[in-house]
Amino acid sequence: MRIAIAQNNYTVGDIQRNLELIKSSVKQAELDNADIVVFSELSLCGYPPEDLLLRPDLYTIIDNAVEDLLALDSQVAMVIGHPIKEAEGLFNVATVIHRGQLLVQYKKQLLPNYSVFDEKRYFESGSEDCVFEFKGLKLGLLVCEDLWYPEPTARVKALGADILLSPNASPYCYGKGTLRSAEMGSRARENELPIVYVNQIGGQDELIFDGCSAVYNEEGQRIFQMAEMAEDFAYIDFDPKTGAIKPSKPYLNQFHGEEEIWQALVLGVRDYAHKNGFKGALLGLSGGIDSAVTLAVAVDALGKENVNAVMMPFRYTASMSIEDAEEEAKALGIEFDVISIEPMYEAFMSQLSHQFKDTEADLTEQNIQARCRGTLLMALSNKFGRLVLTTGNKSEVAVGYCTLYGDMAGGLDVLKDVSKTMVYRLARYRNTVSQVIPERVITRPPSAELAPDQKDEDNLPPYDILDAILEAYVEQDKSLDDIIALGHDEEVVRRVIRLVDINEHKRRQAPPGIRITQRAFGRDRRYPITSGFGRQFKS
């Protein structure tokens, strides 16, 4: 049997576009003389559709799309994913269509409801296993979460399946590929059952789907893998008598380390901009490490002709910052402007002079600088239709070292889930591809340059210490005592934890950011704004 694998980049809610992608893949499968083509989970509506699933009119559009696929009367069977509403409730299904007939419909049994998943908010669990006969073979169906536990696969094997087909929408985080492969390999090996694992590809808001669709033989070996962070199409020839599996193209290796994270960020920026209709992107280029890395990601994602940057100096901006920003822009070949914020700042201070009389300068004046810059960038975005990329990293966002309506003003925070220490590693990596970030940007002490001779470490612990504490508290949910036991100073830990907890209000108003860790701010980590929990950590 020839089984085609369609790793497509769907757009949530754009059923017509998704339908056309499916039809195009069916045509390719026909040209390749495939017997069946498998698509990813909820391929018709895209994943995750979230509260679109609560709209009654969605199902009219979905039903029409299914009818459209039935009308193809294709000689190639297709396994498509979509929601279906029945009297018993809403189900996440994999539907098999062949020659204008609906052969079977499998309802996903295990519904994830943790981390970024909310499937129990919408779906009911299916209760029946699915093995169906097609061209002399018995094909099993399971959807995504069903494969992460042993029992569903064992039941499919007990029903006599020769091979298992599995549509998936498995979101990316760093290291997920290794974990995923180990689990899928275990299911195949435990049951001596080959598995065709088809995953979604593309960016959807803060989520990345990395593709890496794969085939595992009955010994649990991953014998074939498709592209990572890119669309792909392939097929395998499966001989049930010998168990032989022959792919149509070479095995594609996964990215590793900083390259893997870089490619995820590039995919996230590209899809967020394109799927939301932006003509390009722009950002404030400060001469610092965060904006330098953000700029390079944007150019790799969208092309130099679609990215522009603005340096917005003030009296505290070092000359080296302007020089380095100019060098970065020149190296990447982008449009670059310099607009001083001095006149705008002075106008604000003049208008506020009566209210501010007899007060000392404090963070207020620093925040006004940041808000002048945010206003400039948003004006350029409105005028030219480009997406503003903010440049705050996870370390800063965690402790609130950022300004609401200032450097947080924008549409997408590229580094929102990237720690400061990882930002440096990404800069080093990108310079191995081509030298685009000046060495001085990487080696100089980081500074917001909102006050004379200001350095980040005047206000924060050294980033290697801060990031270790944040990883323990934010990503691993370790307690105060647990983190101190790791060797960190108690006073520093208390301060960092308190800063994380009291700045939830900022994160709620921040733009979305691309998720690369197992615990990102946003839909992945949902904490109350109004909370007394952090008060216990006062020194």
Is the model's pLDDT at 187 over the cut of 90?
yes
Q: What DSSP line would sit under 95-114, residue for residue?
A: EEEETTEEEEEEEP-----S
Cα(26)–Cα(195) distance, integer angstroms:
21
Cα(273)–Cα(266) distance, integer angstroms:
11
- Give the list of residues 6+ apart from residue 427 with CB closer than 8 angstroms, or none: 289, 292, 293, 437, 441, 442
Q: What is the pLDDT of residue 319?
A: 87
Identify the domain boundary among 250, 284, 300.
250
Is the model's pLDDT at 201 over the cut of 90?
yes
Is the model's pLDDT at 539 over the cut of 70?
no
Is the model's pLDDT at 458 over the cut of 80?
no
Residue 366 and residue 241 share a domain: no
Whether residue 52 contacts residue 45, with contact meaning beta carbons closer than 8 Å, is answered with: yes
Residue 36 and residue 180 share a domain: yes
Q: What is the mean pLDDT of residues 178-206?
A: 96
Identify the domain boundary among 250, 273, 295.
250
Residue-range definition of the domain harbouring residue 28: 2-250
Residue 223 and residue 264 share a domain: no
The string of pLDDT tens digits covering residues 95-130 is 999 999 999 999 999 999 999 999 999 999 999 999
Q: How many domains does the chain have?
A: 2
Q: How confident is the model at residue 317 (pLDDT cuts 50, 70, 90)?
A: confident
At residue 373, the 3 state secondary structure works out as helix
State the DSSP code for 457.
G
Q: Which two tokens stand for residue 109?
A: 């049994």
Rg (CA), the chain: 26
Is the model's pLDDT at 447 over the cut of 80?
no
CA dihedral for 472, 473, 477, 481, sign (positive or negative):
positive
Q: How confident is the model at residue 207 (pLDDT cuts 50, 70, 90)?
A: very high
How many residues appear in the chain? 539
Kindly report the pTM of this predicted structure.
0.94
Residue 241 and residue 365 share a domain: no
Q: What is the pLDDT of residue 145?
A: 96
* Known binding positions for L-glutamine: 114, 170, 176
State the DSSP code for 42.
T
Is the model's pLDDT at 4 over the cut of 90?
yes
Q: What is the pLDDT of residue 448?
A: 64
Q: Which two tokens stand for residue 204?
A: 């959807």
Residue 102 and residue 77 share a domain: yes
Cα(389)–Cα(377) distance, integer angstroms:
9
Q: What is the pLDDT of residue 376?
A: 97
* Known binding positions: 114, 170, 176, 284-291, 367, 391, 396, 506
At residue 44, the 3 state secondary structure works out as coil
Residue 191 and residue 94 share a domain: yes
At residue 388, the 3 state secondary structure works out as strand
- Give the list of residues 6+ apart from residue 173 with CB closer than 8 angstroms, or none: 515, 516, 517, 518, 520
Is the model's pLDDT at 502 over the cut of 80?
yes
* Known binding positions for ATP: 284-291, 391
Residue 477 and residue 451 share a domain: yes
Identify the domain boundary among 187, 218, 250.
250
Residue 304 and residue 213 share a domain: no
Q: What is the pLDDT of residue 253?
A: 85
CATH number, domain at 298? 3.40.50.620
Q: What is the pLDDT of residue 532?
A: 84
The string of pLDDT tens digits covering residues 148-168 is 999 999 999 999 999 999 999
Q: Which two tokens stand for residue 76?
A: 């190639």
Count of Cβ atoms closer than 10 Å to residue 523 Cβ: 17
Q: Where are the beta strands (DSSP E) in 231-371?
A: 232-239, 244-247, 280-284, 307-311, 335-338
Residue 472 and residue 354 share a domain: yes
Q: What is the pLDDT of residue 161?
A: 97
Residues facing residue 171 across a β-bridge: 209
Residue 394 and residue 510 share a domain: yes
Q: What is the pLDDT of residue 141?
A: 98
Q: How confident is the model at residue 191 (pLDDT cuts 50, 70, 90)?
A: very high
The helix or strand, by DSSP H or E, that contains position 500, with its residue range, turns out to be helix 490-502
CATH number, domain at 23? 3.60.110.10
Q: Which two tokens stand for residue 484?
A: 């101190």
Residue 181 and residue 49 share a domain: yes
The string of pLDDT tens digits covering residues 346-397 is 999 999 999 999 999 998 999 999 999 999 999 999 999 999 999 999 999 9
> Where in the sequence numbering do the catalytic residues fall?
41, 108, 144
Q: What are the two backbone dihedrals, phi and then psi, of residue 449, each rounded to the nearest 5 degrees? A: 55, 45
Most confident of 14-28, 240-254, 355-369: 14-28
Residue 307 and residue 204 share a domain: no
Among 170, 216, 227, CA closest to 194: 216
Pairing of strands 131-134, 137-141: antiparallel
Q: For the chain, give the percent of residues with pLDDT over 90.
A: 88
Q: Which two tokens stand for residue 348?
A: 């604000």
Q: How confident is the model at residue 537 (pLDDT cuts 50, 70, 90)?
A: confident
Cα(279)–Cα(306) distance, integer angstroms:
7
Q: What is the pLDDT of residue 460?
A: 86
